[in-house]
Amino acid sequence: MGRTLIQNATIFTATGADAFKGDLVIEGNRIVSVGSGTNAQADDEIIDAAGMFCMPGMTEGHAHLSFENVCATENLITPSPETQAFTTARGAKALLEAGFTSAYGASEAKLKLAVAVREEVNAGRLPGPRIRAGGLEISVTGAMGDESTAHNPRIGPSTIVDGVEEMRKAVRMHCREGVDNVKLDVSGDPFYPNTPGHTTPMTFDEIRVAAETAHAYGRKINAHTRSIDGTKYCVRAGVDGLFHTEYSDEELLDMMEEAKDRIFVVPTVGLFAQIMAGEASGHGLSPEVGGYMNIPDLLENSIKTHTELRKRGIRHLIGGDYGFGWSPQGTQGRDLKFFVDFYGYSPADALICATANGGLAMGYNGELGTLEAGKLADLILVDGDPLADISVLSGPEKVALVMKDGAIQKVAPALATKQHSPALEAAE
């Protein structure tokens, strides 16, 4: 790859600086300069952004790439791995086209779906974001993810373990199979009436051993944790990513603040906010049903907890639990408006959650998530101003260009027709 000059852009670096009118130069897969008044060289590929908003590519912080139109656990169990491999590839492509150049994996319908798609994306054979692959959820008997009953044992989208040695073996198996991110089901969930969200079926010792084992293999460990005790266990055990985390008390908030340079927190607010807004009614989950499931209480506590975490400087990521019937892949950017409306983020700080924080969570030695000289060239052009209207990133429609690792992955026809650039014409 040669040198690319993006001119006439509104540049948002995600470093805390104000957006400004300027130019950006990419050489190979790296950003080499960010500024204004850049002179073009004779062999530059020139992209005239025509005032569009240039920002780092976003990170989906709780990716279920294999989820597509899911309305029940059966939708994850029944399809074959072969069928779901195509589903996962479609999910990866949808994320990329919506401006997400990275996906931090939560869990998938089958063990190696994200691993396989990650390898194909890395080899250049499939379009998709950078992927930290999740595997199956690891849970315990009688908890979220355990689909069996005494009269009907079933294999679900989880590995069921009991005790520290079974946990150690399950984590080792996930690492052996190439998973980057191990996920534990620490707490309960509204979709499992026997173990609602405030319960904690998994023990501290099981969580501790899982974290020790994952870290011994150089992997990340994350947890579905809604309950106060569950989240306290996770922080003490060294868990890296905390998913949901609606319920809290002062002790837990203090613990998370003390660990804020180590942990990332993903509220995954979209799933339940959309249910209570009536968007899932066509799938049997009306707001009335949501009330029976205690979702209003979860949302109320989510707003309270994550507003306080924002004030304390805890690093939030956007995304999570998209791929359901009412929340399709590629609409993860809706979380940005939820962060503004529910948690009190400014649009600029919500964008930092999606970009700079996400880049740090992905692990690339700080080389992702901001537009700075020397960083990897993952960026997007947006036909609109997210600082004025954050909802322009709610889907792929306003994402005019996606660049990942210095290569153009998507270009809107309206942008391409304004250019005289072989690179854009090839991407189109």
pLDDT in tens, 40-85: 888 899 999 999 999 999 999 999 999 999 998 889 999 999 999 9
CATH code at position 16: 2.30.40.10
| Claim to verify: residue 51 and residue 82 sit in the same structural domain | no
| Claim to verify: residue 20 and residue 71 sit in the same structural domain | no
| Claim to verify: residue 67 and residue 201 sit in the same structural domain | yes
Mean pLDDT across the chain:
96
Q: Which residue spans within 119-272 are E strands per DSSP?
A: 130-132, 134-140, 158-161, 181-185, 220-225, 241-244, 264-266
Cβ proximity of 200 and 227 under 8 Å: yes
| Claim to verify: residue 246 and residue 317 sit in the same structural domain | yes
Range of the domain at 395: 3-57+367-427
Residue 152 domain-assigned (yes or no): yes
Residue 129 domain-assigned (yes or no): yes
Q: Which residue spans within 208-283 are E strands per DSSP?
A: 220-225, 241-244, 264-266
| Claim to verify: residue 232 and residue 107 sit in the same structural domain | yes
| Claim to verify: residue 198 and residue 318 sit in the same structural domain | yes
**394-409 core/surface letters (b: 16 or more CB in 10 A; e: else):** bbbebbbbbbbbbbbb
| Claim to verify: residue 129 and residue 175 sit in the same structural domain | yes
pLDDT (tens digit per residue) in 5-38: 999 999 999 999 999 999 999 999 999 999 998 8
Residue 359 domain-assigned (yes or no): no
What percentage of the chain reaches a pLDDT higher than 70?
A: 97
**Given a cut of 70, is residue 150 above it in pLDDT?**
yes
| Claim to verify: residue 86 and residue 213 sit in the same structural domain | yes
The model's confidence at residue 174, banded by pLDDT at 50, 70 and 90, is very high
| Claim to verify: residue 216 and residue 132 sit in the same structural domain | yes
- What pLDDT shows up at residue 97? 98
| Claim to verify: residue 62 and residue 48 sit in the same structural domain | no
Mean pLDDT computed over 230-239: 99
Burial of 57 (0-12, 13-18, 19+ CB in 10 A): buried
- What pLDDT shows up at residue 320? 87
